[in-house]
Structure 1
């Protein structure tokens, strides 16, 4: 009997200690706390509070005035499953800021001013199923930035300034159900678009219209045109130098600019058939002109006889 009494006493001491450590009656300044849902919501803040309940599962920091984050802002909050940082003024993310959020399921970074992402920024978020990066100013993505997100089901990249995505960027998404890609600056004149084009063709049912759950693979269009990205192939673009497989593209960064691509392309030799055609036309036009001017044929006759008006111009330029 004495042993049981001792065990019960120890149990109550541990229980009371746990309750005391999870005191939800004391909430951070500017925040409201819901102990039942283990949720913290903050408003009007410029910085993330450093006294947030350690056992919180939801932290809602949307619609604040956060312009930057401390690298240790969320350290100690390793029970969080939902972190909302949407509708702030974040321009950058410090490396390692999410490293301790190993239980995180949903991360909202939409409606900020992010122009880039640090490499490996999401590597610790192996349980993440929902990542919202829409309505930012992202111009490029680091290679392998999504590689650890094997549980991801929803990815929002719509309404950014992306021109392409790195080769194999989405290859680890074995459970992906929804991806939003519209409203970007997809550069269909660059070889770097070929990976995304092929991926959309292979995963059309996962590509959604913004704010709906409807499939729309054709809605992802090239910058400046209404042509669908998924229609772009090596054969119907003017880059003769594009690699024949996406695996070959991995040797060059996805951030290669259009200018750089054009420079490389200009250095490439012309196909033999094109050279042959140009030489044949040149020789034929010279012969035609010599005959015309030798026989003193008037330019009026040239217009009548020549079905290709360009010959008239060539002859005038080359007239002795």
Structure 2
């Protein structure tokens, strides 16, 4: 009898403890709670409270003084659908910090000091619809960083320091409708970077360092010409394909073509594939490609000069012209190159 009484007492203690943890009339220090919306908002914090209601659906930690997060800071909050961390001092995110948030739909980490994203940090956010990372200091993105976010419709990466994008970084985002890439340091985008974004409606590309003297810009130029209605101004509403301009000029990227800009020519798509990191190119192929990019007249002149110089040198050496004469001739730079260097 005493044993049963002990068990019943323990059960009630556990039950009451669980009820207390779900009590929306009691809120963490520095936080306010809205039981109707199941929302918690905190201000003036340096650490994430560990007594937040476990059934909370919204947690707003914006504009606090959070400089780092515990790897398990949100592991007990499996019901969260919205998490806001904007306006803090975060320089990094623990790789596993979001691992238990499989119901999360909106994540704000804007206006922090993030310099890099750990590999796999978003891998468990399989329900995520909106990811906001603007106003940080991101210089690069890990490959496949967004591959698990197959339900994502909104991605904001503007006002960072991105200098390049990994190949295929957006390929899994087949539901994406809005993409912000403005105000970074991008010089080009990888070939076929946007080809899998079949539902894309809005993309912001302005205020980057688009390098219109490089053949790498041709994909972006063509893509903008083919999708002008998707390219918007910084506000995201007005169509503005001409607002994406080349670095150092006001020329629109969409006006850049192989024919009107690269007089020496650019490699074809096949040749670009041959020079990608996944493949190798022989010296012979490179020589042919370089020769193909030169204007025909220049090639003709070079070949004619080469044949003439060979003939000239043969005459000199077959006639046994004295070394004194050769040295005198060598004072002329051009003859020094074509004869003295060619001397048998």
Give the Cα–Cα distance (whole angstroms) in 2 for the partners of residues 26 and 216 of structure 1: 50
What are the superposed Cα offsets for residues 15-54 of structure 1, whole Å, 9 maximum, x if unpaired? x999788666676776655452521011221123534322
| Aligned match of 1:67 | 91
1:161 to 181, 185, 194: 185
1:225 aligns with 2:244: no
Give unpaired runs (5+ residues) of structure 2: 1-15, 39-56, 278-285, 305-344
| Aligned match of 2:60 | 41
Give unpaired runs (5+ residues) of structure 1: 1-15, 255-263, 281-320
Q: How many residues align?
A: 257
Give the Cα–Cα distance (whole angstroms) in 2 for the partners of residues 27 and 75 of structure 1: 25
Map residues 1-320 of structure 1 onto 2, 5 A cutoff: 33-35=33-35, 36-37=37-38, 38-42=57-61, 43-48=64-69, 50-52=72-74, 53-238=77-262, 240-245=264-269, 248-253=271-276, 268-269=290-291, 270-276=294-300
Instruction: Check conservation: 1:31, 1:40, Cα contact below 8 A.
Output: no
Q: TM-score, normalised by structure 2?
A: 0.67
Q: Secondary structure at the match of 2:140?
A: coil
Q: TM-score, normalised by structure 1?
A: 0.72
Give the Cα–Cα distance (whole angstroms) in 2 for the partners of residues 51 and 133 of structure 1: 24
The 1:253/1:276 distance shift into structure 2, 3 A limit, reads: closer
The CA RMSD measured in Å over matched residues stands at 3.0
What are the superposed Cα offsets for residues 215-243 of structure 1, whole Å, 9 maximum, x if unpaired? 01011000000000001111112352412
Q: Secondary structure at the match of 1:40?
A: strand
Greater RCO, 1 or 2 (C-alpha within 8 Å, sep 6+): 1
